[in-house]
Amino acid sequence: MAKITSRSPLAPESFPDLPVIKGVRFSSVAAGVRYAGRTDVMLAHLAPGSTVAGVFTRSATRSAPVLDCQAKIGTHTDDGAAIIVNSGNSNAFTGRNGVDATRAVTSAVAQTMNLPEGRVFSSSTGVIGEPLPHGRITAKIAELVAGLDETGIGAAAQAIMTTDTFPKGAMASVDLPGGTVRIAGMAKGSGMIAPDMATMLVYLFTDAAIPAGDLQALVSGINDRTFNCITVDSDTSTSDTLLMGATGASGVAVTAQDTAFADALHGVMLDLAHQVVRDGEGATKFVTVNVTGAVTDADARTHALSIANSPLVKTALAGEDPNWGRIVMAVGKSGAAADRDALSIRFGDILVAENGWVSPEYKEDLGAAHMKQPEITLNVDIGLGNGAATIWTCDLTHGYIAINADYRS
């Protein structure tokens, strides 16, 4: 796996001071899954009575841990729950070994923590196609359980990283009629990022009391507006997993109709999604693509993804080249309805093109100045209707090639 030697220039200044979520404890260890001396396994324990929801990759080649989680997520008991995650090896495309390795890990956690195996969720991230050395993980279960601590989320966020250059965390506190509830989350993701769920691992926790069905509805709906709206390289992972646990330790009841809680959760999930893009492999630009005026919202999304995933658009962004012709190209090839003469393009607030031609007011130096900013906004109006969508992406640099050319070395 490529060695990452520098922090993304788009990274936040520091990992946030995440609040303790009562009812959740964390631990992490170095198990040598792929590299000696690297913290690479994390364990989270949720108190009895917690509800768990999740969304997963729709890849046709999804990993054994994803399939195992999907089989378990729809059931609920009042038992506690656990989430165990390893980095360095994705346990994907590993045949029967993948199933056996997943079962070995979840069974060991269940036995050590006195939990039903159906309440132990696992994730693996890293290289595809290599058998998971699960014995290195199971040998560390007792140590992980002994080290569980409610303040350990920061170290856990470090343990799940692969080519990430920084750990990703976000939080929110919400005052509700019944009292204050807290949300904390962590994520990993840097490459193989494309929205088909979205490509990364995400773990969210709250002390609110939320029925399982309501929690699933919140997670699924907000996911579609956050993680499903990011792309780094258009490639969808075999291992995408988002799990959320609600412990109920605050005693504050929440349902899917509580807009204040939903808004706060949306903020946490969007923050984490943006951090994944900001850590895109080799990224130097954080790019917002806004498409309006499409025939439908679905058409707007199609156009926005075509722009965000275009290698020509992304390399122009990397080169700080205000080449608006590449956006015209991306709209035209998307397959969604478009009309050359109805299209308008803006770099931020700068009108670049309209009525089938470059705007007479446009000055190349203004466009070039916008492209030099670390955060770039591309506003495209299709001019045909009321459909709208926003996608977040990054540029494509030599760094992306360097990281992925020797990913397994």
Active site residues: 199
Query: What are the helix and strand counts (H, E) for the chain?
Result: 12, 15
| Contact between residue 125 and residue 239 where contact means Cβ atoms under 8 Å apart | yes
> Cα–Cα distance between 355 and 5 in angstroms, integer?
47
> Cα–Cα distance between 99 and 69 in angstroms, integer?
12
Secondary-structure breakdown of the chain: helix, strand, coil percentages, each rounded to the nearest 5: 35, 25, 40
| Contact between residue 119 and residue 107 where contact means Cβ atoms under 8 Å apart | no
| Contact between residue 93 and residue 110 where contact means Cβ atoms under 8 Å apart | no
CA atoms within 13 A on the CB side of 398: 1
What is the token pair recorded at 270?
Answer: 């969007």
> Cα–Cα distance between 24 and 246 in angstroms, integer?
9
> Cα–Cα distance between 373 and 283 in angstroms, integer?
13
| Contact between residue 294 and residue 387 where contact means Cβ atoms under 8 Å apart | yes
How far is residue 321 from each of residues 9, 191, 293, 395, measured CA to CA in Å? 19, 23, 25, 11
Direct distance between the N- and C-terminal alpha carbons of the chain, in angstroms, rounded to an integer: 5
> Cα–Cα distance between 351 and 342 in angstroms, integer?
14
DSSP 163: S
Strands (E), 189-230: 201-206
> Cα–Cα distance between 104 and 97 in angstroms, integer?
10
